Amino acid sequence: MKLIIAIIGLPGSGKTVAIEYLMEKLHCPKIYFGDATFDELKKRRMEINETNERQIREELRAQHGMAAFATVNLPKIETALETNDVVLIESLYSWEEYLKLKEKFGEQLNLITIYSSPKTRYARLVNRPIRPLTNEDARSRDHSQIENLHQAGPIAISDFTVINEGGVDDLHSALDAILKKFNI
């Protein structure tokens, strides 16, 4: 059976580290939902920063509905599944995106939440080399993603949850344990 694994969680939880590990381990592609935001920023020649990213994310959802990123990425997912047994999705956020994908792919879709406490995430985000966030920016983004983007729903309904408060090796071990449940 073909498998879609969406890695979800709040900023700084370790989603990107998890995705990179799974891509290398499983030799599979990822579909990054956030590329639609960056493509639009480039198209408009806007600076990449938290304020502009949020504006574009919210505009895209206002224009196309809360399932916008799932809708836009459906063809990419379908194409990837034609030649791969596993496809990863990074940055599925809204409940509506989840519902759209679940309707289309059913049991093929599995969510893995990467959870880290706000204290841990904010410490990571302030030191992140790409798009670092201040504690204030991180808190604001958390609230926006939970309240405006309906991100809490997919996190709550996730098939698996990894607590990522330790090091990278701990995260990898937790992901390996989940992969065993998929027999991969």
- Interatomic CA distance for residues 76 and 73, integer angstroms: 5
pLDDT of residue 184: 87
26: number of Cβ within 10 Å: 18
The domains found in the chain, sorted by start residue, are 3-181 (3.40.50.300)
Which amino acid, 73?
N
pLDDT of residue 72: 84
- Interatomic CA distance for residues 116 and 10, integer angstroms: 8
Say how far residue 40 (Cα) sits from the centre of its chain.
18
pLDDT digits over 61-79, tens only? 888 899 999 998 999 999 9
- Interatomic CA distance for residues 78 and 101, integer angstroms: 11
**Parallel/antiparallel/unpaired status of strands 3-8 and 86-90:** parallel
**Helix (H/G/I), strand (E/B), else coil: 109:** strand
Tokens 């791969």 sit on residue: 84
- Interatomic CA distance for residues 125 and 106, integer angstroms: 34
pLDDT digits over 41-62, tens only? 999 999 998 799 989 988 988 8
**Parallel/antiparallel/unpaired status of strands 160-163 and 109-115:** parallel
* pLDDT-flagged residues of the chain (< 50): none
The backbone torsions φ and ψ at residue 114, rounded to the nearest 5 degrees and listed phi first, read -100, 115
